[in-house]
Structure 1
């Protein structure tokens, strides 16, 4: 199997054992709505209370532990390089955005402050709902008033930011957004707390749609050496159906995944091309250890996809997009580029972040093996860990991601299907 951070199974395994001993804890919230038949036990444990100083020290020690331990090796004496411990100020600079939908919205190549001022208070409703009692409704109403005011004041700027070819659709979505805000106001007035999250999600889908309608074509040229490869010039959504074996808590489950070709066109294009070849259909989950879930290693000696037209393994370059840069960097980690404090457009923030596995010492060795991170904020602090800037993130699971942690080795991917965005794939090989 291929690896994050190491050559043998293509990713990291800290020396803390995962089987039979101490393991990374995985924080999960199983309250997200799902139309899939999934049953899961929700065990809650009380955590200790720490001072800010103690928390900072704990995080720093944890990062040191992760970054300074042996990796899962190809041979018995192969080890991962030990990165410099990140600046403590980076680790405690503020809570990262963890919601996959928000991460995808902020990753869009747009610069329209007016729509962002609508987006942010709508997203903040999530935090408002964590407040106990009626105060949650009061806080939600404040968020909603702020968003409504921003939409009213900034509507002209939002409409002017729409791509001409998509303007009609964008204006239609704005109308639905305005109507939806009125409906949410009524839900709040009715004190229907359970209905708020569902309507909030709907409104943010409209916001995301408006923002996508601001992208006028593909925003940059892919380097010439990669232009003939399958490229996803935009976004696509896929559904991955998994048949779960020997798990009383989970049966069939469908994971919806959004792939971001704006930030990772080569990586996303390669994956969609393999999906259309049905490469993953019938393949088992090959690693599920509480840290990541991984698959994509075909049967036989090959560790990736063998292109039948060349009879060779098809590999793709490491592809990392950074805030402030129009196009991705190729073939080098951010550490190798000296961009130690750069912020990746698609960070390992969310539970279910999707990325390519590769050999540790060969940046351009990714082929078909993919993994999803079972995000633990304290152990993998955003943009201050051993993953961001080293592995190509190209999407997020946006529905049923919480159930990832219940998958086990041997569970079968029944199918992966593109449900939207296939028209954005160019140079398909299937």
Structure 2
């Protein structure tokens, strides 16, 4: 049985040290004042390893950063967000998204909520139960016991939606999972009554844990509504390792030279419904123990990154072919029935499209790749540490350019404590391995 997520933490967390990427002059120079340059310096992650890398989130290679076109994009966006003046399109380039789109909200930043909303289901009744429960998070932002009035309204709305929509909810559950769905709905009803008691007792501290429990029941019902895998992966990728569903992974990291943190286990949920090739590739590598013993290779306050093996290779070399294994860029867009492969949303001119797995949450997990090759991702992965000014939640300049395939759902805050040289002791699939098809790790050699 997998060990439960835990972190051994001894005292207050020191503020992480940020190492900002330098601005290269090889492909153009940006002249900005200090205030705006901070925005640009915090965008454009680079690889942290000593050897030359092709893989990085957005211009990560040392010595390469922004082109003139990209500098124009960043400056226009920065000026627009600072001053409120709409950003203008740069010459000979695509029209930039409206600033109002970039800062519209409120964004969903909770990884659990993002995963629930990303499920391939269409059942309005369960969503009407879910949303008021999710909104309790915002209600709790109000100070003191006044927040409990809003929590009670959220609870009444959700409870009413459950009573009115129970039959519609059950009709959406897969037939073979009906009994499980009924059991979860019963637990949800009981839990709502318990939350009502918590509110009446004005026990504010007990609200959030109970909310999390109720949303887990809702998420379980929604997962029971998914009837098989919802689409066909393109033929050229069909024989790759594919995760047709979801999987949960525990990543145990040994932290060096930090008096505050000894070791930590991060729980990661991988979403193969929206990124089957990307998630399948990662699970396959986990089962090969590819990452076990590997160091964190970049940790600069913007991202944590790993996946570059020792030696000259920059990626996973498949022993059956003795060649690097690469995967295509894979982006699922809201409203689409299947992911987009091989092209960024910018390439396609879909500037206002919303991704199903956005870079909203602290600990968003994605694939690093070559700056000029959309289909060059292999084994290097990164976790976004925070919402910088150029990566605002809901719509940002990473969405649609990098393949997100999961979120850290427990202990994500401790990612900020990781440093270059900390060691991934193990990565273990604790559930969902049966959703992996074409597992290449089972091939001899």
Relative to the length of structure 1, the TM-score reads 0.85
Distance 1:163 1:141 in 2: 32
Question: Does 2:294 correspond to 1:283?
Answer: yes
Distance 1:366 1:354 in 2: 13
Are residues 225 and 243 of structure 1, via their aligned partners in 2, closer, same or farther at CA, if it must alter by over 3 Å?
A: same
Distance 1:415 1:77 in 2: 33
Question: Does 2:47 correspond to 1:76?
Answer: no
The equivalences for 1:256-267 within 5 A come to 256-267=267-278
Q: Which residue of 2 aligns with 1:38?
A: 9
Q: Which residue of 1 aligns with 2:318?
A: 307
Question: Does 2:200 correspond to 1:196?
Answer: no
Give, in angstroms, the shift of residue 385 of structure 1.
Answer: 2.4
Question: Does 2:110 correspond to 1:99?
Answer: yes
* Structure 1 unaligned regions, length at least 5: 1-32, 45-58
**Cα distance per residue 1:354-411 (max 9 Å; x no partner):** 0000001000100000000012253311354221000000000000001101100000
Distance 1:245 1:280 in 2: 17
Are residues 410 and 64 of structure 1, via their aligned partners in 2, closer, same or farther at CA, if it must alter by over 3 Å?
A: closer
User: Which of residues 246, 250, 253 is equivalent to 2:257?
Assistant: 246
User: Which of residues 221, 237, 244 is equivalent to 1:233?
Assistant: 244
**Cα distance per residue 1:149-186 (max 9 Å; x no partner):** 11111111100111122222112111111111111111
User: Which of residues 90, 108, 112 is equivalent to 2:123?
Assistant: 112
Q: Which residue of 1 aligns with 2:182?
A: 171
Question: Does 2:440 correspond to 1:416?
Answer: no
Are residues 319 and 73 of structure 1, via their aligned partners in 2, closer, same or farther at CA, if it must alter by over 3 Å?
A: closer
User: Which of residues 114, 125, 130 is equivalent to 2:141?
Assistant: 130
Q: Which residue of 2 aligns with 1:212?
A: 223
**Cα distance per residue 1:294-342 (max 9 Å; x no partner):** 0000001111111100001100000000001000000000000111110
RMSD across aligned positions (CA): 2.4
Name which of structure 1's ranges 89-98 and 254-263 shifts more when overlaid on structure 2. Answer: 89-98
Name which of structure 1's ranges 314-323 and 187-196 shifts more when overlaid on structure 2. Answer: 187-196
Are residues 236 and 77 of structure 1, via their aligned partners in 2, closer, same or farther at CA, if it must alter by over 3 Å?
A: closer
User: Which of residues 119, 123, 132 is equivalent to 1:121?
Assistant: 132
Name which of structure 1's ranges 182-191 and 294-303 shifts more when overlaid on structure 2. Answer: 182-191
Are residues 200 and 60 of structure 1, via their aligned partners in 2, closer, same or farther at CA, if it must alter by over 3 Å?
A: farther
SS in 1 for 2:213: helix
SS in 2 for 1:252: strand
Distance 2:240 2:395 in 1: 32
Q: Which residue of 1 aligns with 2:360?
A: 349
Question: Does 2:414 correspond to 1:403?
Answer: yes
Give, in angstroms, the shift of residue 125 of structure 1.
Answer: 1.2
Give, in angstroms, the shift of residue 269 of structure 1.
Answer: 0.3
Contact 2:119–2:273, Cα closer than 8 Å, also in 1: yes
Q: Which residue of 1 aligns with 2:266?
A: 255
SS in 2 for 1:134: helix
Are residues 42 and 191 of structure 1, via their aligned partners in 2, closer, same or farther at CA, if it must alter by over 3 Å?
A: farther
Question: Does 2:420 correspond to 1:389?
Answer: no
Give, in angstroms, the shift of residue 417 of structure 1.
Answer: 0.6
Distance 1:377 1:124 in 2: 24
Give, in angstroms, the shift of residue 68 of structure 1.
Answer: 9.5
User: Which of residues 172, 178, 193 is equivalent to 1:182?
Assistant: 193
Contact 2:109–2:393, Cα closer than 8 Å, also in 1: no
Are residues 245 and 230 of structure 1, via their aligned partners in 2, closer, same or farther at CA, if it must alter by over 3 Å?
A: same
Aligned length: 385
Are residues 397 and 77 of structure 1, via their aligned partners in 2, closer, same or farther at CA, if it must alter by over 3 Å?
A: closer
